[in-house]
Amino acid sequence: MSQEDLGSLIKRFRFVRVLDSNPQTKVLSLLGTIDSKDAIVTAEKTHFIFDETVRRPSQDVSDPRPIFYHCENEYSCINGIEDLKELTSNDIYYWGLSVIKQSMDYNPTAKLNLIWPATSVHIKKYEQQNFHLIKETPEIYKKIVKPYIDEMAEGGRLKWVNNILYEGGEAERVVYKDYKEDKIEESFIILPDMKWDGLSVDSLYLVALVYRTDIRSIRDIKPEHKEWLIKLNNKIKSIIPGCYNYAINPDELRIFIHYQPSYYHFHIHIVNIKHPGLGNGIAAGKAILLEDVIESLNYLGPEGFMTKTMTYVLGENHDLWGRGLDKETAKQLEEDGIPKTPTIVNGFAFNH
């Protein structure tokens, strides 16, 4: 069955409810249906577009970085303002609202993502929820997390990854591919993450997918992988600037992995370091810099991260929370002598 195009699917989208609206990341997540099957649409306001990046010699002539932008296009910078309403002013400060001219090629309004058919796991991921700090010991990993990862690997959840690696899926979006059949453990592919609109380097967001399958998360990384990670890290820093006409430098790339990750096939996130609008995706308790992973391998034993207690943030909608991490977290707090948070009913606190 051939895959339908986004436009025809969106036209059949029937709204059910709002899953989340994030004022920081400017992302709206909607739940609906398409042909009676659950669908999730996320709309993200795009980054402001400059007309073009221009090279100009800086005071240090050995520094070739682009250091200013032209705003000559009718859609870029203040040229695109069509209407303006002042809200208030005070001394030298002014606030207002504006309508900016839109164009699909130069200044699109928002980036849309669609998941269809969406599973209950997808819906929980995008729905607003409470978060908790998890202290995952090696024992908790073996008892609760590893069985979950094994189920995810067996459930066909990685079909889209295999499509990219082996079936030519999203081939038109691939930024870089290093594939050697006789060196599969060193092979990887880089392409834009769904969170990037692909237009502004200021909001650059790429993901590197490795071909090896023996590493599903940071838990599987051992000292024997150190040299491989160093080579991979250095290669990413070497090739990405050239892919974007050197509008970004190697030391302007934030290279990290997630724990828990969204999917259990080892991948690396590559983001412009000036891009803050990623919410919890780059926060402590989620993102771990690849350099720190490599450095930690100097101090961990032969089993690597498998013997380390990992502390991270997890939402209540994640399946792992209801599979036992909720009880383990409560147990740890009690063992540490931290009192339970009372339940508030009609203004009165109750411990139970």
Ligand-binding site membership of 248 (annotated) = no
CA distance 121 to 27: 19
Ligand-binding site membership of 203 (annotated) = no
Ligand-binding site membership of 195 (annotated) = yes
CA distance 219 to 20: 30
Residues listed for the chain: 352
Ligand-binding site membership of 50 (annotated) = no
**Omega of the bond leading into 3 within 30 degrees of 0 (cis):** no
Ligand-binding site membership of 70 (annotated) = no
For Cα atoms 46, 51, 57, give the angle at the middle one, nearest 5 degrees: 120
Q: Let me know if 225 is a catalytic residue.
A: no
CA distance 255 to 251: 10
Element housing 328 (H / E): helix 326-335
Ligand-binding site membership of 74 (annotated) = no
52-54 and 68-70 beta bridge pairing: antiparallel
Ligand-binding site membership of 160 (annotated) = yes
DSSP state for residue 185 in the 8-state scheme: G
Ligand-binding site membership of 318 (annotated) = no
Ligand-binding site membership of 246 (annotated) = no
DSSP 250-287: GGGEEEEEESS-SSSS-EEEEEETT--TTGGGGSTTTE
CA distance 236 to 230: 10
Structure-block tokens of residue 322? 């209801």
Ligand-binding site membership of 267 (annotated) = yes
For 101, the 3-state DSSP assignment is: coil
CA distance 252 to 249: 5
Dihedrals phi, psi of 271, to nearest 5 degrees: -130, 145
Ligand-binding site membership of 269 (annotated) = yes
Please answer whether residues 75 and 49 qualify as being in contact, where contact means their C-beta atoms are separated by less than 8 angstroms: yes
Sign of CA dihedral 214, 216, 219, 225: positive
Ligand-binding site membership of 122 (annotated) = no
Q: Which of 47, 70, 122, 267 is an active site residue?
A: 267
Ligand-binding site membership of 260 (annotated) = yes
Ligand-binding site membership of 193 (annotated) = yes
125 class by beta-carbon count within 10 Å (0-12 exposed, 13-18 middle, 19+ buried): buried
Ligand-binding site membership of 264 (annotated) = yes
Residues at the binding site are 160, 170, 193, 195, 258-269
Catalytic residues: 267
Residues at the binding site for substrate are 160, 170, 193, 195, 258-269
